[in-house]
Amino acid sequence: MKVLISGASMAGLTAAYWFARLGHSVTVVERADGLRPGGAPIDVRGQALGTTERMGILAEINAQKIAVVAPMPVLDASGTQVATLDLSWFANETDHDVEITRDRLNQIVLNAIPNGVDFFFNSSIASIADQPGGVDVVFVDGRQGRYDLVVGADGLHSNVRKLVFGPEKDYVRHFGYYVALIDLPSHRDWQRAMLNIPGLTIAVRDTGDGPQAMMLAAKAELDYDHRNLDAQRKMIDDFLSQVSTWQMPELREAFADPTAKGFYFDSVSQTHMPSWIKGNVAVIGDAGHCAALLSGMGTTLAMVAAEALATTWTENDGNTLAASPIYHDRMRPYVEQCQAFAHEGGPIMVPPTQEALDTRNATFREYASKLAA
Ligand SMILES: Cc1cc2nc3c(=O)[nH]c(=O)nc-3n(C[C@H](O)[C@H](O)[C@H](O)COP(=O)(O)OP(=O)(O)OC[C@H]3O[C@@H](n4cnc5c(N)ncnc54)[C@H](O)[C@@H]3O)c2cc1C
């Protein structure tokens, strides 16, 4: 049967693997001109370890995982060290959790996809008409196709969700933070550290593929164009301008550089949908059930949902109506569990007040001294 997947990232690539492996004819349409690079290291954990093992890629993921790096100084607004963050506190480098860069994981999944999957890069779906004979799709470049199933794996601001299920505001809930990432020029000697003021965290880290900066800012929802990168760079600079010590001037310059690699900016949000399937169209990954970056579960959920959808749909001979309740019963409890994790992450990563920051730093100090003992 013919399956069209919109989006070539964790959810889309994993879905392409599973639908192709299960014997379907698969096309992937991706708006970017290739796999979108960038992103901080992500976690493959929980049920995704089983999914990747069944895909035969867990060993490769383990081989390319990030080793726990040296403890990171935690700085106050003046740039003075006030605590140490031992990253094992987050990384959970146990048998149940593998941390790997997003680019490496994307490439591993891509390499595993069976031959014969068609990729349309630089394209997107313009319209979807779910008819009795199949789902008729027109692409923005004028191409057309008829599919048995269309899978929206096109992220938080999903195009498929908007076209079939309705506007973003009906499903996406702002979680109170914004995140920005950038690859830093490697000719400069960056201090690897995390600086906090209430409501703002800036960290510089090098996980093996070069230095990278991350900003997390607590902020109520802002109205901006998700495609306007200049507007996003201006918003990031407004957040960063609150601090002038440390290597902030250089970091502001790096984030403001339109030629810098690895630029990423988005709200930290969750997607909540009563149903992820409508007719013969499904949404998975951040499009359907984004758990928010602070949960550490986004990639895991995306991969698990991709396998569950492909296997359930195939076991039901491509009868989406029959597969739908089984798929929902399988995924709903796991999605709810993963989305709940996000509530813990925010106050730790971005304490909102000086008091909360001091308490968090005391916890870091206590953990570091326990490890040293
Ligand atoms: C560049 C980038 C950096 C990221 N960095 C981090 C990070 O540091 N930490 C973290 O926790 N999460 C990060 N994420 C999100 C993380 O990848 C997801 O939360 C998770 O892996 C679930 O993946 P997903 O495939 O559902 O969504 P995403 O990874 O967001 O992928 C969606 C894909 O759909 C494509 N797309 C969007 N619109 C269209 C369209 N109209 N037509 C066709 N394709 C479209 C996008 O280009 C993208 O390739 C990042 C995502 C991206 C794209």
Examine the domain organization and report whether 217 and 207 are in the same domain: yes
Check pocket membership of 285 for ligand 1, CB cut-off 6 A. Answer: yes
Provide the pLDDT confidence category of residue 332 given band limits of 50, 70 and 90: very high
Provide the pLDDT confidence category of residue 237 given band limits of 50, 70 and 90: very high
Mutational test site, ligand 1, from 4, 9, 151, max ligand atoms within 8 Å of CB:
9
Separation between Cα atoms, residue 112 and residue 122, nearest integer Å: 22
Examine the domain organization and report whether 111 and 224 are in the same domain: no
Evaluate whether residue 93 is within a structural domain: no
Examine the domain organization and report whether 123 and 45 are in the same domain: yes
Check pocket membership of 42 for ligand 1, CB cut-off 6 A. Answer: yes
Examine the domain organization and report whether 198 and 315 are in the same domain: no
- Atom of ligand 1 lying closest to residue 158 CA: 38
69's CB contacts (< 8 A; 6+ apart) are 87, 192, 205, 206, 207
Evaluate whether residue 49 is within a structural domain: yes
Check pocket membership of 39 for ligand 1, CB cut-off 6 A. Answer: yes
Distances (CA, A) of 238 to 17, 200, 272, 318: 41, 11, 30, 50
Cα of 37 from ligand 1 centre, angstroms: 10
Examine the domain organization and report whether 51 and 103 are in the same domain: yes
- Atom of ligand 1 lying closest to residue 156 CA: 30
Examine the domain organization and report whether 150 and 252 are in the same domain: no
Tell me, what's the pLDDT at 183? 94
Separation between Cα atoms, residue 362 and residue 137, nearest integer Å: 56
Evaluate whether residue 325 is within a structural domain: yes
| Domain of residue 253, residue span | 176-267+350-372
CB 232 within 8 A of CB 139: no
Tell me, what's the pLDDT at 282? 98
Cα of 359 from ligand 1 centre, angstroms: 33
Chain segment 177-236, per-residue pLDDT in tens = 999 999 999 888 999 999 999 999 999 998 778 899 999 999 999 988 888 999 999 999
Cα of 360 from ligand 1 centre, angstroms: 30
Total number of domains constituting the chain: 2
Separation between Cα atoms, residue 157 and residue 308, nearest integer Å: 22
- Give the N- to C-terminal CA distance of the chain in Å, as an integer: 60
Examine the domain organization and report whether 164 and 280 are in the same domain: yes
Cα of 286 from ligand 1 centre, angstroms: 7
